[in-house]
């Protein structure tokens, strides 16, 4: 083995040997299990003392690049081969320390990251119509109102607005939220409201306090992607409860609860994500009673409860709860602006203090100045005005999407009219799965969220989630036309390998499409 050595330098010879061999190993020139020359032989060929080579080998062994086998010699470690394979899967990691590769192998990829990757790859296509995003219409963002609210806060509060603030949240905002909830039939006091950095953090706090590795959590099947990731990251096993046109099939719960003995149940009863359905009043009452019988906490996610377009308002689960079993979660991100990152939870009893302690541990408090501006925005009546405008706009866009689906979807496609929220849940025709359709849809410059991402098992599904709130009517019309064309072109191709059928798969929700 030839090792270039420079004796006219201050770098010790053993270090020169170490650096050369390290580069050869890391580059793959010396593959795993390659036997290095015996220290005596290499020292003789290089004209150096044997101790010099021994020190170089010791350095490489300390770095995990080589290992010694008694009586056999020194060999290149196989660890590098596995790391190189990890780098092939994650090329962005190339060149980082070994502990980072090990951490990456231990980390489970989240559904949200998969979703982000899907959107990033699709975004490379020009003139893309995005039905996948989860936010509302950006033209509705109340930028002027919030600019005025911030100015008013700085004039009134000065530097106090930039202090940490109360860990539980800005007290006037908590009182305002409690007042709004009480007017909606949810008995709440300010000291039961905990301000969080979006509803995502509220769910993470609940998981941190209530779940331990190996616990079971019940979720709707399908359900919100973020909830799946949060509960799994806490080490919980997820058990899905089917959903139909009236929300979670509560009639099945007694048997499931007795078998699974869950630590909590998570539900989105009002304008469910992704299906858009609303749980019936009868099921809500049955669910609250069942939770009381089985000593089971309910996590109620009310992320777009204010966005109702028609139908009758149903009581929140928290409004029906007289025993303290329901933790109510809400956010201002979907209705006002996603960048606010302000949500809240409502909890009664000792669990509130545990949730507050977890909140302080994670980020001390949600940004004080944003809470104060939001409170100013709400108290002058701008929030109610904004919600009314949003409902009017989103109702028109929902109706546009329903009409476009009736016009452009092939026979066999099905959907349910949502009475509120942001999303339409489309069942594809003829055994087509969303995963199979997605590349064809991208070629037509339209994207959606494949339904499999919302199911705990994440198997291929014939469902897609469509956001009807983001785009103007003419964009919605064109996007659905493109989607219909993608389905027809996919069906017209070779479908011999796509013989999977709807019966017996997915959930039981399959409302007939409008005429």
Q: What is the CATH number of the domain that holds 348?
A: 3.40.640.10
- Structural domain of 485: 111-139+385-492
One domain for residues 257 and 270: yes
Q: Does residue 120 surpass a pLDDT of 80?
A: no
324 and 182 share one domain:
yes
**Residue whose entry in the numeric block shows the structure tokens 């996603």:** 338
Q: Compute the average pLDDT of residues 181-193.
A: 95
Q: How far apart are CA 179 and CA 238, in angstroms?
A: 35
Please give the pLDDT value at position 511: 37
Q: Count of CB atoms within 10 A of residue 71's CB?
A: 5
Confidence band for 90, pLDDT divided at 50, 70 and 90:
low
Q: Do 336 and 446 fall into the same domain?
A: no
Task: Give the rounded distance of the alpha carbon of 105 from its chain centre.
Answer: 20
- For residues 153 and 252, membership in a common domain is answered with yes
**How large is the average pLDDT for residues 366-381?**
94
pLDDT at 78: 76
Q: Is residue 418 part of a domain?
A: yes
CB 209 within 8 A of CB 411: no
What are the counts of helices (DSSP H) followed by strands (DSSP E) for the chain? Answer: 18, 16
- The answer to whether residue 102 is domain-embedded is no
- Across residues 65-81, what is the average pLDDT? 79
List, for residues 379-438, the tens digit of each pLDDT value: 878 999 999 999 999 999 999 999 999 999 999 999 999 999 999 999 999 889 998 999
Are 320 and 251 contained in the same domain? yes
Helix, strand, or coil (residue 473): helix
CA atoms of 471 and 140, how far apart (whole Å): 11
Structural domain tally of the chain?
3
Query: What are the residues whose beta carbons fall under 8 Å from the beta carbon of 151, sequence distance 6 or more?
Result: none
Q: Say if 5 falls within a structural domain.
A: no
* 36 has a pLDDT exceeding 80: yes
Mean pLDDT of 53-81: 82
Q: Please tell me whether residues 40 and 119 are part of one structural domain.
A: no
Q: What is the pLDDT of residue 102?
A: 76
Does residue 511 lie in a domain region? no
469-478 tens-digit pLDDT: 999 999 999 9
Per residue in 246-266, pLDDT tens?
999 999 999 999 999 999 999
216 and 296 in a common domain:
yes
Report the chain's terminal Cα–Cα distance, integer Å. Answer: 79
Spatial separation of the C-alpha atoms in residues 104 and 88, rounded to whole Å = 13
Q: Is 70 domain-assigned?
A: yes
For 108-117, 160-169, 425-434, which range has the lowest pLDDT when averaged over its residues? 108-117
Of 363, 380, 397, the residue that ends a domain is 380
Q: What is the biggest distance separating any 2 CA atoms in the chain, rounded to whole angstroms?
A: 91
The CATH number covering residue 134 comes to 3.90.1150.10
Q: How confident is the model at residue 64, as a pLDDT?
A: 76
Angle 368-379/382-408 helices, nearest 10 degrees? 90
- Same domain? For 38 and 22 the reply is yes
Which residues on neighbouring strands pair with residue 2, listed in sequence order?
Answer: none
CA distance 248 to 239: 13
Pick from 279, 499, 509, 309: which is nearest to 396 by CA? 309
Which segment of 30-34, 96-100, 159-163, 445-449 scores lowest on mean pLDDT?
A: 96-100
Does 63 reside within a domain?
Answer: yes
C-beta separation of 376 from 234 below 8 A? no
Which residues face 328 on adjacent strands? 300, 346
Specify whether 360 is located in the same domain as 391. no
Across 59-156, where does the E strand assignment appear?
66-69, 73-76, 129-130
**C-alpha dist (Å) from residue 369 to 86, 164, 191, 197, 199:** 43, 9, 20, 13, 18
- Residue where one domain finishes, among candidates 362, 380, 398: 380
The answer to whether residue 209 scores a pLDDT higher than 50 is yes
Residue 8 lies in a domain: no
| Residue 329, strand partner residues | 301, 345
Same domain, 244 and 326: yes
Residues 220 and 289 in one domain: yes
C-alpha 165/C-alpha 77 separation (Å) is: 53
| 121 and 164 both lie in a single domain | no
515: in domain: no
Token digits of residue 298: 């309910």
The span from the CA of 9 to the CA of 24, in Å, is 22
How many Å apart are CA 125 and CA 120, to the nearest integer? Answer: 10
Q: Is 393 exposed, middle or buried (0-12, 13-18, 19+ CB in 10 A)?
A: middle
Cα-based distances in Å from 147 to 143, 160, 322? 6, 18, 40
Q: Name which of 79-83, 145-149, 399-403 the model is least confident about.
A: 79-83
The pLDDT-based confidence of 513 (bands split at 50, 70, 90) is: very low
Q: Look at residue 125 in the predicted model and tell me its pLDDT.
A: 72
The share of the chain scoring above pLDDT 70, in percent, equals: 90
Directed axis angle between helix 434-443 and helix 473-492, to 10°?
Answer: 120
Domain end call among 57, 76, 95: 76
């Amino acid at each position: 083995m030839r090792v270039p050595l420079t004796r006219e330098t201050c770098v010790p010879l053993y270090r020169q040997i170490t650096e050369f061999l390290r580069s050869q190993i890391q580059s793959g020139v010396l593959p795993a299990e390659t036997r290095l020359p015996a220290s005596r032989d290499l020292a003789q060929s290089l004209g150096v003392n044997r101790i010099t080579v021994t020190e170089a080998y010791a350095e490489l062994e300390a770095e995990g690049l080589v290992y010694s086998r008694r009586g056999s010699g020194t060999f290149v470690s196989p660890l590098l081969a596995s790391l190189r394979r990890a780098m092939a899967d994650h090329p962005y990691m190339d060149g980082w320390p070994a502990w980072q590769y090990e951490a990456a192998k231990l980390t489970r990829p989240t559904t949200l990251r998969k979703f982000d990757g899907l959107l990033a790859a699709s975004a490379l296509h020009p003139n893309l119509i995005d039905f996948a995003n989860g936010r509302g219409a950006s033209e509705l963002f109340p930028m002027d109102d919030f600019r005025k609210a911030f100015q008013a806060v700085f004039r009134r509060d000065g530097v106090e607005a930039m202090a940490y603030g109360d860990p539980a949240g800005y007290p006037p905002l908590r009182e305002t939220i409690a007042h709004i909830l009480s007017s909606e039939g949810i008995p709440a006091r300010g000291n039961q409201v905990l301000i969080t950095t979006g509803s995502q953090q509220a769910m993470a706090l609940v998981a941190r306090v209530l779940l331990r590795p190996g616990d079971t959590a019940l979720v709707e099947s399908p359900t919100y992607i973020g909830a799946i990731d949060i509960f799994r990251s806490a080490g919980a096993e997820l058990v899905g409860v089917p959903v139909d046109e009236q929300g979670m099939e509560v009639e099945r719960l007694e048997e499931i609860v007795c078998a699974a003995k869950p630590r909590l149940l998570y539900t989105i009863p009002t304008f469910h994500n992704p299906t858009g359905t609303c749980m019936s009043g009868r099921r809500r009452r049955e669910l609250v009673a069942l939770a009381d019988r089985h000593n089971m906490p309910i996590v109620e996610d009310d992320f777009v409860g204010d966005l109702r377009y028609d139908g009758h308002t149903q009581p929140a689960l928290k409004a029906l709860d007289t025993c303290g079993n329901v933790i109510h979660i809400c956010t201002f991100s979907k209705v006002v602006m996603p960048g606010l990152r302000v949500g809240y939870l409502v909890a009664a009893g000792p669990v509130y203090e545990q949730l507050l302690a977890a909140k302080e541990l994670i980020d001390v408090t949600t940004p004080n100045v944003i809470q104060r501006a939001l409170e100013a925005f709400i108290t002058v009546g701008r929030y109610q005005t904004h919600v009314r405008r949003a409902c009017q706009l989103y109702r028109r866009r929902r109706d546009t999407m329903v009409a476009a689906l009736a016009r452009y979807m092939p026979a066999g496609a099905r959907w349910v009219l949502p009475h509120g929220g942001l999303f339409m849940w489309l069942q594809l025709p003829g055994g087509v799965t969303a995963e199979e359709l997605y590349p064809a849809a991208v070629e037509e410059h339209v994207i959606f969220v494949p339904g499999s991402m919302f199911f705990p098992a994440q198997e291929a599904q014939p469902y897609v989630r469509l956001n009807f709130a983001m785009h103007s009517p003419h964009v919605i019309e064109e996007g659905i036309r493109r989607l219909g064309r993608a389905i027809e072109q996919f069906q017209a191709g070779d479908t011999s390998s796509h013989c999977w059928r709807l019966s017996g798969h997915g959930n039981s929700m399959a409302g007939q499409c409008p005429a």
